[in-house]
Amino acid sequence: MTRPTVLFVCVHNAGRSQMAAGYLQHLAGDRVEVLSAGSQPADQVNRVAVAAMAEEGIDIASEQPKVLTESAVREADVVITMGCGDECPYVPGKRYEDWVLDDPAGQGIEAVRPIRDEIRGRVEALVAELVG
């Protein structure tokens, strides 16, 4: 595997998957290809998630929720789902992980920070595993 591709998937592609993608891009840089998508994408990224990431010095404000496609799953080496369950297409030979995380939708910043921090820890472990 030269440069691994990681796809983060949640229902709306507005909170958890966007924060995870932001952290992976920030921590791994160009050593990893980062994708994110949602099974039912929202109109925009969650403003509280944007604010929580800004506190970490990571700007996800310009990101747009994207619809999950089978081609994105095929392109990925690692598919990380966050609450989309059976709506995520299964492609044999891919590595799948399901991260059980609270949904930041409708939550205030105090509730989103612990979700953000848990995502950071999981992404740090993923980076260490994929690129050392």
Q: What CA–CA distance (Å, rounded) separates 25 from 37?
A: 15
Query: Hunting for tokens 């993608």 — which residue is that?
Result: 21
Catalytic residue among 35, 68, 82, 88: 88
Q: What CA–CA distance (Å, rounded) separates 86 from 51?
A: 30
Bridge partners (DSSP) of residue 38 are 10, 67
Catalytic residue among 84, 101, 119, 126: 84
Q: Tell me, yes or no, if 102 is annotated catalytic.
A: no
Q: In what order do the strands lie in the sheet with 78-82?
A: 33-38, 5-10, 78-82, 95-98
Q: Tell me, yes or no, if 122 is annotated catalytic.
A: no
Q: What CA–CA distance (Å, rounded) separates 116 from 99?
A: 13
Catalytic residue among 6, 7, 9, 10: 10
Write the CB contacts of 23 (distance below 8 Å, at least 6 apart in sequence).
56, 58, 119, 120, 123, 124
Q: Tell me, yes or no, if 7 is annotated catalytic.
A: no
Catalytic residue list: 10, 84, 88
